[in-house]
Structure 1
Amino acid sequence: MSLKKTVWKFWAEWNVCKESRGREKMATTKGQLEGRFTSCLRKYRIFFVVVGTILCVQLYLAYSFFKLDNQNDASIRTSSGEIGSARLERSDGFLQGSRQLKLPPDKHVISNKVQIHSPQNRTIKVKLDKKLLNFTPVCDVIGREAVSAVTRARSEFCKELIVNVSCLSQQGKLYPERLYSSCPHSTGFIGKPKNLGCFKDDKTQRILSGYYAVFKTNNSPEHCAFMCLQSGYRFAGTEYSTECFCGMEEPSQVKRVPDSSCNMKCSGDPKQSCGGYLTTNIYRTGIRRFKAQEARNSSLKTGKEKPARIAFLLTVNGRASRQVKRLINVLYDPSHFYYIHVDARQDYMYREMLKVEKICRRKNIKVAKGAGLRYASIWGGASLLTTLLSSAKQMLQYSQHWDFLVNLSESDFPIKSNAQLIDFLTWNKGLNFVKSHGREVQRFITKQGLDKTFVECEARMWRLGDRKLPKGIQIDGGSDWVALSRDFVEYLSSPEPNELVTGLLKIFQYTLLPAESFFHTVLRNSKFCDTYVDNNLHVTNWKRKLGCKCQYKAVVDWCGCSPNDFKLEDLSRIRNTAERNLFFARKFEPVIDQRIIDRLEDWLYPDRENRTKMKGHDMYWQNLYHHADLSPMTDDTVLTIGNSLGRLIFTRFGFNTGHIRLLEITAYFVKNKFRGILILVEVDIKTFESSTYQNDLPDRVEALITLQRNFTASKMWSSRIKSLAINTDYDQKEQTFRNFLGGIDPMSNLILAYEFDASLVTPRNLSVLWIDPNGALADVNNLQLEEMTLMGSVKPQLDEPLSIGKWRVFLIADTLIAGNLSFVVTPLAFWKNRQMSMKKARDIHNGPSGIRRTREIDPKWISILRKAGINQEQTLDGTIIEDRTGPELNAWIDEFVGQYYTIENICIANEMHSKKRNDHDLHECSQTNWSSLSFDPKADVHNLCEI
């Protein structure tokens, strides 16, 4: 009889006994009744004992099973008990047919200092639906991450590339399985690692204390030794069938025990032994302890060496062309060579750098141009390594006389003089300066995503799944800012690279942040291994709480960190590096803080002319738009507002015309503060019939435009609120808005940024009420302010497209309005840089489409809003269709723009017209202080190559 039937039988009989007791309750005495019930208990006590025992045993077995399973899944622990993050290769258990090992007591105990890690990035098998493709894939794509990438990719080219790479990876044909080091003293083992014997281990003081991992199904001497070699360890040890230890120190012969003590079969090869309980088979990995070279700080020769010549590779992006020119000015020396690579999508910066190349008569400044020499590099993209290697080859061809290649960006700036840099590199010719990650290698591999395959297309890095790095070499990495010797650059740029370089190029073609590991790994495994200096000559401003916020989600399937900008308060930190071998710092941005750049230049070159006496010394201009740009595509809001401001500028002269041409938009800063927007615009005077108009009207002008402040605070809160602003393009890292023009359109993603004074008593809860132009409550945000969170941002959840018109935002403290802001959502005149069509205007100019979300309003807020002129009982008229286009749409836009922008000043940009009759009392732009056409000594390169 089954256990289930037996239980039910006993349970039925027990119920009969209870029912019998109930029927006899009225006919028996109390003593008789209790006697019969006791008889029932005695009769079935065996039943209760058996069932209770079975339940206890099952609970114990379940507990033991889950505890044992979790124990076997532990990924790493070090002998000191510190937390690690080693790789753990999972399986369903031990070898098929083998008996499961009974774990000793110490294997069940997990120290409080040890954290169990389950694998974070194992590929989950999900099959791709071929019906989603317009081509026939070469295999069945089964990785979840690869399937996700194919599904999200837009173009057929990108989808097919992802499928092809995924298939090669699944078939094991994408990467070399093994590579061989050519470092003379660290070639690694060939075949099997050399066995040193069996050694006694100790669970509190491990004989190999560097690194520890568990391989449940594939542990073997070779597998363990390859992992330890990859991590840079001299010795590897297999223990307890599944465990792998790595270490630097050779074990003492005192701990040697008979080989028979290491008698447990390897989980990956039952023909080999992998230690025992607290006994370890130890092997040599075939490499030597790595020690980076120490840079020399003086000459080793008696004679005077020939000064080192430097080839600067400037990889620049964005629109800060004046800062790049300033950097070139500071770095320039006739004996050096300068190669400028401008991102292929940046037309404005490219034109500006071509001007610099043309001005330099010495021909030692070259700009990358032509097919196959300019690349579009995204954050973390494989294209960045391609850019560096391609540029290095060009630099070798252009100039035969440089000794070092130093790569910089537009956000770098020197912190020592040229003379100091030249002296240092002169003393260290032949060495290579790179910065290592400084952490355990396996942890670096996981954190960096080196154990993943990535593909770059559609200006994005797509993650496709797990991969195994090749065996036989050491992996290293760190910073992608380097100073490399010419010999090493020639080695990398050889037309016929050796097997090591070829294999690593294949690996890093599909790697995230490849430039941060490629040069380091080649150095560690090549004949140049003894030229490695652990210093990239840079100091970087890392503020990881701000810089590690996954701000690159739009371009990469990974989270990374980016350094912050240096500010004036960081000057002492930079000056404290005076005695260290650091020559550059990053990052610097004049739009964030130009003062520190000024102070650094004065500190480096105090003998130069005092810039405080020069015109424009405390000003900075950064271009936002140029009419000649084809790439990147201009934001439609910028085009809309820029053209509207151009029309409003010419209404100052009494002319209402649509025949204007927007030439440039520039952000203007004075004394490190944003001052306004400069609009350079021209009008086609031929459209005016009157010759008088043609003579008097300046055809090209530039205007200084300021944004009106639309924030007010109550008297009680005026000293507590330092700033409160609503805009788009918020930079979490720098905690500032990058949308200097301040335009907001119906498709904008709004952010409210706030900063409160330290005097505010915390904790404090505030509410943010978003009121649309119709007076309806669109959203509510709650701010929970603590002592450490007085500065931050919130993002409202608003229905799209946003309603056009004036929005109100109220900051509520208890039952009072602490502050309020207003902003305007402007209609768009352009969509994808083309004139707005009537159909598109109807789609985006009529407010939220579909069912609107309703927001419940707290009754206490109703009276507060009513006092502020907001009536919640207003109804929406859904019959109005805004389909204005052409002049009617422009007039509508001008009405909104005129309310929030003020024209402060105008100058004449056309010098030919300024010589004509001028009845408007306007100055030439070149003679004004604020104009983008005025002289900027910091970025002047006209006399650059005359030195």
Structure 2
Amino acid sequence: MRPHRLPPCLAVTALSAALLFLLLLLCASSSPPLFAWRSSSASRAAPPPPPRAEWGPGRPPSFAYWISGTGGDARRILRLLRAVYHPRNRYLLHLDAGAAAEEREALAQAVRRDEPAWKEFRNIDVVGEGYAVDRTGSSALAAVLHGAAVLLRIGAHWDWLVTLSAEDYPLVTQDDLLYAFSSVPRDLNFIDHTSDLGWKRHERFEKIIVDPSLYMDRNTEPFPSKEIRQMPDAFQIFTGSPWVILSRNFAEHCVHGWDNLPRKLLMYFANTAYSTESYFQTLICNSSDFRNTTANGDLRYFVWDNPPGLDPLVLNESHFGNMVNSGAAFARRFEEDTPVLKKMDDELLNRSPVQLVPGVWCPNLGKEQNGTDADSCSKWGDINTVRPGRGGERLRQFTSEISQTRGCS
């Protein structure tokens, strides 16, 4: 009897699914390729320890930031990093294969050199090897899962994973964010989700795509298969925003899941367009352990065209009032160095574009010294105390409101 062979296109889809699964296994078990703080061959005396962060009840939480970009985004990532920096948090920066190795090295050098606080607290890392990512394919999902796996390995105390891109910007200070989340149960996930698939049922989930960025060294657009597939009956598909805030427990489940569902869904979404818009939603809403730990919102501010396109509109100063009143923590999309970013720096973050955001942890930042304003933090205050502003109160109220209703419907 002749052995049965898969059609060529289905064989390729099976290969891409296997590659995605293998990538997750590798990033969960191998040493992360980071080079922001590579050890030097020269022996140096250990610097004095920075102020110690304290964890647990009665102390502010901590966030792990996955910040991604492509070629030409290093400057934007550094500006975003300054706007969301706090010593309690962890940061992992990634430039994909669209960026040259020199840009990636320059980003790591800036992390090592630009701010005394970054050098002191060493809580920022840069992924040392760029890999191909196409946001329309499953390589984008592989990148987020890789970031989660690395952050779980290098950061022992963070409570939530926040995914950002170079096109994002915060609407609140980190003191505001830490204050608002101090009253949020630490198992709560903020994931925009719906089971109303509409046109996506056929265009996203019945159609099969192959993402070559899973096995190529350069960013490559996915291509469609001629075959279509039936909708699954072993689980119900949910979809929503690709930008999420995940609890540590759920992030661990995505990477190390103790049941088979995370891997089963990973294999399915390996050949699904825009899988970052559905993987986390489908996983949490089909899990009896986690479905009641999700609030239906991503704490992001977007403006969509009518009818909506694939991307939200680019934001400008005309959107500023609505952004502030939205209660959201972050907004997107922004062009580089657009005037609205300066307005946000001035009126929401109380910083210049080259400064970190002032807080209790850095008492000298922004204060006049020797006739000029201090642009760098050089004295450390209490990193376990936060001083929120009006943005913190708005965000706390907003998170409280959307946390009242949990689960999936």
Q: CA separation in 1, counterparts of 2:149 and 2:15?
A: 29
Match of 2:261 in 1: 500
1:319 pairs with one of 59, 69, 72: 72
Match of 1:885 in 2: none
Counterpart code for 2:160: F
Match of 2:229 in 1: 467
Which structure is higher in strand share? 1
Q: CA RMSD in A?
A: 2.9
Q: What CA deviation, in whole Å up to 9, does each residue of 1:710-750 have, x standing for no partner?
A: xxxxxxxxxxxxxxxxxxxxxxxxxxxxxxxxxxxxxxxxx
Q: Equivalent residues in 2 for 1:162-201 (5 A)?
A: 162=9, 164-165=11-12
1:596 counterpart = 2:340:
yes
Counterpart code for 2:92: Y
1:343 pairs with one of 82, 96, 115: 96
Q: Does the CA contact (< 8 Å) of 2:133 and 2:139 recur in 1?
A: yes
Match of 1:387 in 2: 143
Q: Does the CA contact (< 8 Å) of 2:67 and 2:92 recur in 1?
A: yes
Match of 1:356 in 2: 110
Counterpart code for 1:452: K
Larger radius of gyration: 1
Q: What CA deviation, in whole Å up to 9, does each residue of 1:221-249 have, x standing for no partner?
A: xxxxxxxxxxxxxxxxxxxxxxxxxxxxx
Match of 1:485 in 2: 247
Q: Does the CA contact (< 8 Å) of 1:138 and 1:164 recur in 2?
A: no
Counterpart code for 2:329: F
Structure 1 residue 307: deviation in Å? 0.7
2:209 pairs with one of 454, 459, 476: 454
Q: CA separation in 2, counterparts of 1:167 and 1:381?
A: 15
Q: Equivalent residues in 2 for 1:797-812 (5 A)?
A: none
Q: CA separation in 2, counterparts of 1:434 and 1:493?
A: 17
User: RCO (CA 8 Å, sep 6+): is it higher in 1 or 2?
Assistant: 2
Q: Equivalent residues in 2 for 1:27-42 (5 A)?
A: none
Structure 1 residue 564: deviation in Å? 1.9
Structure 1 residue 140: deviation in Å? 7.4
Q: CA separation in 2, counterparts of 1:363 and 1:451?
A: 46
Q: Does the CA contact (< 8 Å) of 2:190 and 2:246 recur in 1?
A: yes
Q: Equivalent residues in 2 for 1:71-90 (5 A)?
A: none
Match of 1:411 in 2: 167
Counterpart code for 2:193: S
**Residues 140 and 323 of structure 1: is their aligned pair in 2 closer, same or farther, counting only changes over 3 Å?**
closer
1:584 pairs with one of 325, 330, 335: 330
Structure 1 residue 163: deviation in Å? 5.5
Q: CA separation in 2, counterparts of 1:367 and 1:333?
A: 17
Structure 1 residue 385: deviation in Å? 0.5
Match of 2:25 in 1: none
Q: Does the CA contact (< 8 Å) of 1:375 and 1:383 recur in 2?
A: no
Q: Secondary structure at the match of 2:182?
A: helix
Q: Does the CA contact (< 8 Å) of 1:384 and 1:515 recur in 2?
A: yes
Q: Secondary structure at the match of 2:178?
A: helix
Q: Does the CA contact (< 8 Å) of 1:455 and 1:463 recur in 2?
A: yes
Match of 1:765 in 2: none
Q: CA separation in 2, counterparts of 1:414 and 1:576?
A: 14
**Residues 469 and 499 of structure 1: is their aligned pair in 2 closer, same or farther, counting only changes over 3 Å?**
farther
Q: CA separation in 1, counterparts of 2:202 and 2:74?
A: 37
Structure 1 residue 454: deviation in Å? 1.1
Q: What CA deviation, in whole Å up to 9, does each residue of 1:885-907 have, x standing for no partner?
A: xxxxxxxxxxxxxxxxxxxxxxx
Q: Does the CA contact (< 8 Å) of 1:433 and 1:534 recur in 2?
A: yes
Q: What CA deviation, in whole Å up to 9, does each residue of 1:571-591 have, x standing for no partner?
A: 1221222xx3x1000001126
Q: CA separation in 2, counterparts of 1:568 and 1:168?
A: 46
Match of 1:567 in 2: 316
Q: CA separation in 2, counterparts of 1:460 and 1:417?
A: 36
**Residues 596 and 469 of structure 1: is their aligned pair in 2 closer, same or farther, counting only changes over 3 Å?**
same
Match of 2:81 in 1: 328
Q: CA separation in 2, counterparts of 1:430 and 1:386?
A: 23
Q: CA separation in 2, counterparts of 1:944 and 1:470?
A: 54
Match of 2:52 in 1: none
Structure 1 residue 443: deviation in Å? 4.2
Q: Does the CA contact (< 8 Å) of 1:540 and 1:563 recur in 2?
A: yes
Structure 1 residue 305: deviation in Å? 2.8
Counterpart code for 2:59: K
Q: CA separation in 1, counterparts of 2:72 and 2:173?
A: 26
Structure 1 residue 486: deviation in Å? 0.3
TM-score by length of structure 2 reads: 0.68
Which structure is higher in helix share? 2
Q: Secondary structure at the match of 2:232?
A: coil
Match of 1:822 in 2: none
Structure 1 residue 328: deviation in Å? 0.9
Structure 1 residue 535: deviation in Å? 0.8
Q: What CA deviation, in whole Å up to 9, does each residue of 1:859-900 have, x standing for no partner?
A: xxxxxxxxxxxxxxxxxxxxxxxxxxxxxxxxxxxxxxxxxx
Q: Does the CA contact (< 8 Å) of 1:334 and 1:945 recur in 2?
A: no
Q: CA separation in 2, counterparts of 1:165 and 1:352?
A: 37
Q: Equivalent residues in 2 for 1:486-885 (5 A)?
A: 486-494=248-256, 497-526=258-287, 527-544=289-306, 548=309, 561-577=310-326, 580=327, 582-590=328-336, 594-606=338-350, 608=351
Q: Does the CA contact (< 8 Å) of 2:162 and 2:246 recur in 1?
A: yes
Q: CA separation in 2, counterparts of 1:352 and 1:381?
A: 28
Q: What CA deviation, in whole Å up to 9, does each residue of 1:786-843 have, x standing for no partner?
A: xxxxxxxxxxxxxxxxxxxxxxxxxxxxxxxxxxxxxxxxxxxxxxxxxxxxxxxxxx
Unaligned runs of 5+ in 1: 1-136, 142-159, 174-302, 549-560, 615-939
Match of 2:190 in 1: 433
**Residues 474 and 315 of structure 1: is their aligned pair in 2 closer, same or farther, counting only changes over 3 Å?**
same
**Residues 356 and 469 of structure 1: is their aligned pair in 2 closer, same or farther, counting only changes over 3 Å?**
farther
Structure 1 residue 167: deviation in Å? 8.4
Aligned residue pairs, count: 306
Q: CA separation in 2, counterparts of 1:467 and 1:416?
A: 44
Q: CA separation in 2, counterparts of 1:400 and 1:562?
A: 35
Q: CA separation in 2, counterparts of 1:168 and 1:341?
A: 25
Q: Does the CA contact (< 8 Å) of 1:382 and 1:511 recur in 2?
A: yes
Match of 2:363 in 1: none
Q: CA separation in 2, counterparts of 1:529 and 1:377?
A: 29
Structure 1 residue 344: deviation in Å? 2.2
Q: Secondary structure at the match of 1:441?
A: coil
**Residues 945 and 399 of structure 1: is their aligned pair in 2 closer, same or farther, counting only changes over 3 Å?**
farther
Counterpart code for 2:145: L
Q: What CA deviation, in whole Å up to 9, does each residue of 1:399-423 have, x standing for no partner?
A: 1010000010001001122122112
Q: CA separation in 2, counterparts of 1:485 and 1:945?
A: 32
Structure 1 residue 544: deviation in Å? 4.5
Counterpart code for 2:228: D
Q: What CA deviation, in whole Å up to 9, does each residue of 1:293-319 have, x standing for no partner?
A: xxxxxxxxxx97321100011011231
Q: What CA deviation, in whole Å up to 9, does each residue of 1:916-945 have, x standing for no partner?
A: xxxxxxxxxxxxxxxxxxxxxxxx9x9468
2:127 pairs with one of 339, 343, 368: 368
Counterpart code for 1:430: D
Q: Does the CA contact (< 8 Å) of 1:138 and 1:167 recur in 2?
A: no
Q: What CA deviation, in whole Å up to 9, does each residue of 1:510-567 have, x standing for no partner?
A: 111111100011100111010011110101122255x73xxxxxxxxxxxx1122111
**Residues 349 and 544 of structure 1: is their aligned pair in 2 closer, same or farther, counting only changes over 3 Å?**
farther
**Residues 166 and 390 of structure 1: is their aligned pair in 2 closer, same or farther, counting only changes over 3 Å?**
closer
Q: Does the CA contact (< 8 Å) of 1:454 and 1:510 recur in 2?
A: yes
**Residues 601 and 344 of structure 1: is their aligned pair in 2 closer, same or farther, counting only changes over 3 Å?**
same
Q: CA separation in 2, counterparts of 1:318 and 1:599?
A: 26
TM-score by length of structure 1 reads: 0.31
Match of 1:730 in 2: none
